[in-house]
């Protein structure tokens, strides 16, 4: 949380990090256009038209700046537009990112504001986001025989990954959180249950209260401030910026109807369409992907996404997770950044932040959370907007 920073400050900081991370450096004057995602600034900070503000702050004027909005998938969409702008031959160097500035509002206001991303029928039925995903979790449990224990597996993994990410908003493992809670209680002379392990901690409703049954606090991502950006350049000139470029192998985007019209609650048609488009463009299938960042706004969402993306069969996501296949050492590491759950979910920046994680992993620059092995080649990022209304899927591939 950055209560003293506005969206301009946040984006400038991310831009500073980007400039440092581009091997050969670059100058704002090299940038032909800016695309960025943002969802809530109109109503949370009461300022729209950030294209004008950001292009001025970054020193890009009179280069064009375009905001895309697809709720929580806003910067996944921005990345895709940047790809089109370059693939069309119109531009060579495009800055793409996202920003969100949410901490100036109360949790109640944020909850109400984010509900603007839902489909009206859902709101009319009394659903907010935890409510929708709670219903989805119930349907998943019912259909596939999963239980809360399977959600707990996701939570423990996310926190474990985030404990290796210095930029994570929640950077402690569940065990560390349990221990510090016990320590603080002891210091105050409070009586607390003695949790034998982190699972028992998460099962305890005083430590992990219910939010929207069967989802508890640790199943939900936090409210976040943040920004992320990347530099996308035409293939022919990538060598000017680095000897080790990544390639955009596939991009896909889809839309979906609200829950009231969905054929099933345990799958998102927007994700399936986006994945199909991206795989087809890349000439790849799910089995070719080495690791992925997926849109785990809630723990149940991760289980569904890894099925919709084809990494595991429908109804097998919770089993694969229980078997450790989605962990750092597994065959399909998911959300090595800590995911939305722990890295944080600055809504309009999330799609870009996922791509930054994929970028760092593929370039072996992920520090303590670097996946083992030197043969990482293909990573995927999956961004979801609303209650499945919009999804984008991007596949990045390491150059030869």
What positions carry a catalytic annotation? 72, 345
Rounded alpha-carbon distances, angstroms, from residue 39 to 33, 45, 139: 20, 11, 29
Say what angle helices 50-57 and 7-21 make with each other, to 10 degrees.
50
| Contact of 138 with 214, CB cutoff 8 Å | yes
Is 253 among the residues that bind its own copies (CB under 8 A)? yes
* Binding residues for its own copies, total number by CB under 8 A: 58
Among 13, 42, 109, 179, interactor with its own copies by CB under 8 A: 42
Q: In this complex, which beta carbon is closest to its own copies, that of residue 61 or of residue 237?
A: 61
> What is d(CA 72, CA 350) in angstroms, rounded to the nearest whole number?
7
CB of 304 to its own copies, least distance (A): 16
Looking at beta carbons only, is 14 or 71 nearer to its own copies? Answer: 71
- Closest distance of CB 119 from its own copies, Å: 6
Kindly tell me which residue out of 186, 210, 237, 261 binds its own copies, with binding defined by CB under 8 A.
261
Residue 269 sits in the site that holds its own copies (CB under 8 A):
yes
| Chosen residue from 97, 256, 339, 346 binding its own copies by CB under 8 A | 256
In whole angstroms, the minimum distance from the beta carbon of 259 to its own copies comes to 11
Contacts by 235-242, CB closer than 8 A, 24 or more apart: 236/92, 237/92, 237/93, 238/399, 240/24, 241/22, 241/23, 241/24, 241/26, 242/22, 242/23, 242/24
- Name which position in 128, 138, 176, 255 contacts its own copies (CB under 8 A): 255
Q: Does 93 bind its own copies (CB under 8 A)?
A: no
Q: Is 226 left (phi over 0), alpha (psi -120 to 50) or beta?
A: left
| End-to-end Cα distance, the chain | 39
Do 271 and 394 touch, CB atoms closer than 8 A? Answer: no
Cβ 286 to its own copies shortest distance, Å = 18
Residue among 131, 258, 327, 379 that touches its own copies (CB under 8 A): 258
Contacts of 276 (CB under 8 A, 6+ apart): 252
Which of residues 33 and 342 has its CB atom nearest to its own copies in the complex? Answer: 33
Restricting to residues 46-85, which ones interact with its own copies according to CB under 8 A? 46-49, 51-53, 55-56, 60-71, 77, 80-81, 83-85
Cβ neighbours around 313 below 10 Å, total: 10
Residues in 279-338 at the binding interface with its own copies, rule: CB under 8 A: 281
Separation in Å, CA 26 to CA 51, 96, 325, 355:
21, 15, 39, 20
* 4 scored as a contact of its own copies (CB under 8 A): no
Q: Decide if residue 270 touches its own copies (CB under 8 A).
A: yes
Q: How far is the CB of 90 from its own copies (least distance, A)?
A: 6
Structure tokens at 310: 């084809």
Q: Residue 171: is it exposed, middle or buried by C-beta count within 10 angstroms (0-12/13-18/19+)?
A: middle
Q: Which of 342, 390, 394, 397 binds its own copies (CB under 8 A)?
A: 390
Q: Which of residues 177-236 bind its own copies (CB under 8 A)?
A: none
Nearest 5°: phi and psi at 231?
-110, 125
Provide the H-helix boundaries in 94-147.
107-114, 120-124, 129-144
Q: How far is the CB of 293 from its own copies (least distance, A)?
A: 20
Position 117 contacts its own copies (CB under 8 A): yes
Interface residues with its own copies (CB under 8 A) are 33, 39, 42-43, 46-49, 51-53, 55-56, 60-71, 77, 80-81, 83-85, 87-90, 116-120, 253-258, 261, 269-270, 272-274, 281, 385-386, 389-390, 392
């Amino acid at each position: 949380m950055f209560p003293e920073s506005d969206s301009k400050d946040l984006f400038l900081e991310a831009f500073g990090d980007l400039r440092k991370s581009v091997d050969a450096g670059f100058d704002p004057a090299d940038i032909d256009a800016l695309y960025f995602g943002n969802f809530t600034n109109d109503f949370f900070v009461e300022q729209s038209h950030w294209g004008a503000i950001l292009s001025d702050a970054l020193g890009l004027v009179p280069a064009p700046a375009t905001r895309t909005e697809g709720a929580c998938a806003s910067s996944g969409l921005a990345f895709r537009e940047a790809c089109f702008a370059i693939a069309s031959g119109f531009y060579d160097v495009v800055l793409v990112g996202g920003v969100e500035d949410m901490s100036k509002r109360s949790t109640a206001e944020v909850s109400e504001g984010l509900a603007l991303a839902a489909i009206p029928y859902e709101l009319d039925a009394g659903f907010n986001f935890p409510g929708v995903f709670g219903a989805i979790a119930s349907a998943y449990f019912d259909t596939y025989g999963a239980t809360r224990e399977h959600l707990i597996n996701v939570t423990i993994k996310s926190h474990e990954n985030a404990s290796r990410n210095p930029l994570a908003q929640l950077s402690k493992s569940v065990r560390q959180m349990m221990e510090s809670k016990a320590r603080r209680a002891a210091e105050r002379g409070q009586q607390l249950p003695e949790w034998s392990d982190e699972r028992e901690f998460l099962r305890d409703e005083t430590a992990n209260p219910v939010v929207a049954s069967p989802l508890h606090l640790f199943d939900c991502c936090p409210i976040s401030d943040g920004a992320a950006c990347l530099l996308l350049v035409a293939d022919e000139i990538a060598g000017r910026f680095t000897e080790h470029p990544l390639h955009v192998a596939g991009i896909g985007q889809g839309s979906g109807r609200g829950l009231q019209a969905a054929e099933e609650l345990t799958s998102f048609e927007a994700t399936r369409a986006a994945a199909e488009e991206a795989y087809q463009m890349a000439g790849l299938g799910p089995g070719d992907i080495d690791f992925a960042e997926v849109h785990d706004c809630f723990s149940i969402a991760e289980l569904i996404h890894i099925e919709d993306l084809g990494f595991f069969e429908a109804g097998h996501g919770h089993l694969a997770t229980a078997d450790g296949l989605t962990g750092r050492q597994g065959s399909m590491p998911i959300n090595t950044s800590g995911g939305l759950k722990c890295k944080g979910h600055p809504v309009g920046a999330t799609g870009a932040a996922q791509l930054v994680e994929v970028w760092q992993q593929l370039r072996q620059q992920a520090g303590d959370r670097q996946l083992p092995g030197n043969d990482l080649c293909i990573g995927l990022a999956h961004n979801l907007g609303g209650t499945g209304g919009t999804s984008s899927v991007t596949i990045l591939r390491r150059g030869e």
